[in-house]
Amino acid sequence: MSAKTPSNAAVAELIQKYEANITNRSRRVARIELSKWTTEEVKGVMDQLVPRTKRKGSDEPCGPEFNHLNTSLKSTLMIQFGIWSILSFGTIFLLPMQVGAALYLLLHGRLSAIWRELPKPTALLFDWSTGLHAFVKAPMSLVKKSIEREEALCVNRKGKFMLRKHGYAVLSHVWGETMGWNTEHSWGPVELGLRKRGLAYHHFLKFFRRCDAEWLWVDVLAMPAAYEDMSTTEKANIETLQTSIINCLHAVYSRADKVVCLDGLLLRLQSGSMVDVAVILSLGRWINRLWPFTETKLAKRVILKTEDAAFDLDEIITFLYETVNNEDHRYFHIFARLAPLRPVPLGFRIWLDYLARPGTSEPDLFREIYSGCENRLCDVEIDQARALFPVLGLKWIAGWTLQEGLHHIADAYPDDKELLLKYCHYRSIQHEIQ
């Protein structure tokens, strides 16, 4: 270590001053991705983060606004009174202007504009006011039809659903950031009654404002949820539907125009630097979750959203590749962390020989999976195998255990059993493959 380079502990401690609950991630990134960075260089990046807004519950940029559904008569009446008050006063305010505009258009013979254009402000006001307490949830009939047709069940800004094979984007996020709720003593999902209603409309709009798409595929809407109060039979039926949708994910991800990453830490970054984006992405939760690897590996494009901009992941990887000239370069470990997330072009073989099949320059999918899934976690045990199935082009069977899923991978890819065992060993999975 040079005199210029601080200890890993100093860099990790610095990072922790800018974000809570980042101890483990900061230590790992300080030890590897930022091992050749000075504290001044790291501070220069961290200073670009907008301070987190402190509020009760979720203080994430795309988190929910409330945790429970107040169904009391008093609360319901107050909400309805508030909505209709806004609508009534807004209509009264707009009416004189609309009447004046109607007279002007009538005098100039533009009759069609009177019934086509004049009602629009009132309609927009109605949509906005009623949306204050509206929820978005996919009809079960469309969920089943999306499975039958192997199409993406997408939603537009107005909360309308449609099956699509093209012309849509996929939302990639961490459920703990976008759907979770913090209390003084614990963390968990929002209350059951609220989850059953779907996504609150104003919460739903937080996704749309950042994704720049007419149609969006959102996993929490396209995939039915199993609730705590369901019977065993009901949960089994939901698992069957979930499995069928998972088996369609290769098509859903690969057909999408783009996958949009909404990482909570990255959404606080105000910077035009690709390096700054790469550093903050390495520190975020998104890159430490297993399912985002599958989404990005199959995507045509991956867009990383910051507080005030959007970056193409491929362009960032290419920039780092062209900047790095050897493995001692301070960007090398950041580049090595990001590169396996995307299909690696042959031109990148110079620095990524560890992703090629031994003795060749051909890409090796299993090596890319092993490297790309490093330090990625999941909350459901079977997802350690199931999340790989869309990338590998395999079909999961409802009711399978983790071991059964791994055996299926081994049978489908017999030449890669050694790497599969290495993957299991890294993840502390006790698994024996004949």
| Predicted confidence (pLDDT) per residue in 231-241, tens digit | 999 999 999 99
Q: How confident is the model at residue 130 (pLDDT cuts 50, 70, 90)?
A: low
Determine the 3-state secondary structure of 260 from DSSP. strand
Q: What is the mean pLDDT of residues 201-220?
A: 93
Give just the sign of the alpha carbon dihedral 271, 332, 302, 57.
negative
Compute the distance between CA of residue 387 and CA of residue 296 in angstroms, rounded to an integer: 12
The string of pLDDT tens digits covering residues 292-329 is: 999 999 999 999 999 999 999 999 999 998 898 888 89
Residues with Cβ within 8 Å of residue 427, at least 6 apart in sequence: 384
In the prediction, which pLDDT does 190 show?
A: 72
Specify the higher pLDDT residue, 54 or 349: 54
Residues 246-269 have pLDDT tens digits of: 999 999 999 999 999 999 999 999
Check if the beta carbon of residue 143 is closer than 8 Å to that of residue 222. Answer: yes
- Least confident stretch, 82-96, 117-131, 136-150, 155-169: 117-131
pLDDT at 82 over 60: no
Contact status, residue 153 vs residue 146, Cβ threshold 8 Å = yes
Q: For 341-395, what is each residue's pLDDT tens digit? A: 987 665 555 555 555 556 555 567 888 888 889 889 999 999 999 999 999 999 9
Tell me what the mean pLDDT of segment 145-172 comes to: 96
Report the pLDDT averaged over residues 175-189. Answer: 70
Q: Helix, strand, or coil here: 289? A: strand
In this predicted structure, what is the pLDDT of residue 53? 75
pLDDT band, residue 92 (cuts 50/70/90): confident
More confident residue, 335 or 75: 335
The Cα-based distances of 119 to 87, 102, 159, 395 in angstroms read 14, 10, 21, 50
Amino acid 434: pLDDT: 61
* pLDDT of amino acid 1: 44
Distance in Å from the first CA to the final CA of the chain: 44
Q: Indicate if the pLDDT at residue 30 is higher than 70.
A: yes
What is the number of other CB atoms lying within 10 angstroms of the CB of residue 228? 8
Q: Are 190 and 182 in contact (CB under 8 A)?
A: no
Question: Could you tell me the pLDDT band of residue 74, with boundaries at 50, 70 and 90?
Answer: very low
Average pLDDT over residues 100-128: 65
Farthest CA pair distance, the chain: 86
H or E element at residue 428: none
Across 260-288, average pLDDT: 97
- Of how many residues is the chain composed? 434
